[in-house]
């Protein structure tokens, strides 16, 4: 099987974590990193240039991952994803070899599954998501597009997490809970009831903050 030739978009902290998570995948070759500011290299992966070279990279049939983390606000991740799509670029998925991903799950383009994450039976994950280190997604849960499930989050069975949501580190989402598009859940929160309208929520149980 030929290797996937992958370009990483954004060369900061999250990019380093993604490199560590997937570099032992023998099917991936890193071509380099694209970043708005000039860098030396990122953990030995070459700096290629800024976003003005994206069309060139698309023309060379490389595959892309968005590696800006953008905690709490998906706007930059969405903007970069849409820009590469508009240039007819292809996205890959990045799955850490030490994540546990059920065969019956489905993972959208551009999504990364980080170290020691668990994705259980019949989970469906949209595009351009981050399922961060040690997150647990239980059976039949659905995750929308551009969602960031942070480190150590537990999402129990049959939940529905809407598009563009951010779930902060260590939060617990109870069984069968639906969270509206564009919601932000602060770190360490416990969500046991549906969130029907977008907002910022935190606490145990989580309450609306704004």
Q: Which residues are catalytic?
A: 139
Residue from 8, 19, 21, 68 touching ligand JB2 (CB under 6 A): that is 68
DSSP letter string, the chain: -PPEEEEEE--SHHHHHHHHHHTT-TTEEEEEEE-SS--SEETTEEEEE-GGGHHHHHHTT-EEEE----TT--HHHHHHHHHHHHTT-EE--EE-TTSEE-TT-EE-TT-EE-TT-EE-TT-EE-SS-EE-TT-EE-TT-EE-SS-EE-TT-EE-TT-EE-TT-EE-TT-EE-TT-EE-TT-EE-TT-EE-S-B-S--EEETTTTEE--
Site string for ligand JB2, 25-64 (x = CB under 6 A): ---------xxxx-------------x-------------
- C-alpha pair distances (Å), 84 with each of 76, 90, 94: 12, 8, 17
| Stretch near ligand JB2 under the rule CB under 6 A, chosen from 68-76, 98-106, 173-181, 198-206 | 68-76
**Closest CB to ligand JB2 among 76 and 180?**
76
Residue from 7, 11, 101, 117 touching ligand JB2 (CB under 6 A): that is 11
CB of 140 to ligand JB2, least distance (A): 26
**Closest CB to ligand JB2 among 47 and 176?**
47
Measure CA of the first residue to CA of the last residue in the chain; give whole Å: 50
CB of 139 to ligand JB2, least distance (A): 26
| Stretch near ligand JB2 under the rule CB under 6 A, chosen from 70-78, 155-163, 176-184, 192-200 | 70-78
| Stretch near ligand JB2 under the rule CB under 6 A, chosen from 69-77, 93-101, 112-120, 199-207 | 69-77
| Stretch near ligand JB2 under the rule CB under 6 A, chosen from 9-17, 115-123, 154-162, 192-200 | 9-17
- C-alpha pair distances (Å), 153 with each of 25, 30, 162, 193: 24, 28, 16, 16
- 89 near ligand JB2, judged by CB under 6 A: no
CB of 175 to ligand JB2, least distance (A): 26
What does the binding site for ligand JB2 look like in residue numbers (CB under 6 A)? 9-15, 34-37, 51, 68-71, 76, 80
């Amino acid at each position: 099987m030929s290797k996937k030739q992958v370009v990483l978009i954004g060369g900061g902290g999250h990019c380093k974590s993604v490199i560590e998570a997937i570099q032992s995948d023998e099917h991936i070759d890193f071509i380099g990193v694209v970043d708005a500011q000039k860098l030396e290299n990122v953990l030995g992966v070459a700096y290629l240039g800024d976003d003005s070279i994206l069309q060139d990279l698309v023309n060379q049939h490389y595959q892309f991952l968005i590696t800006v983390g953008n905690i709490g606000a998906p706007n930059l991740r969405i903007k970069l994803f849409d820009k590469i799509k508009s240039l007819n670029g292809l996205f890959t998925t990045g799955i850490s070899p030490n994540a546990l991903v059920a065969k019956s799950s489905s993972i959208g383009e551009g999504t990364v599954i980080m170290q020691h994450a668990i994705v259980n039976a019949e989970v469906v994950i949209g595009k351009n998501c981050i399922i961060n280190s040690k997150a647990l997604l239980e059976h039949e849960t659905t995750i929308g597009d551009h969602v960031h499930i942070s480190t150590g989050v537990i999402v129990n069975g049959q939940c529905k997490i809407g598009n563009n949501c951010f779930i902060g580190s260590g939060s617990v989402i109870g069984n069968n809970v639906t969270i509206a598009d564009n919601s932000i859940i602060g770190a360490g929160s416990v969500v046991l009831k549906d969130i029907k309208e977008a907002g910022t929520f935190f606490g145990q149980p989580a309450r609306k903050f704004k």
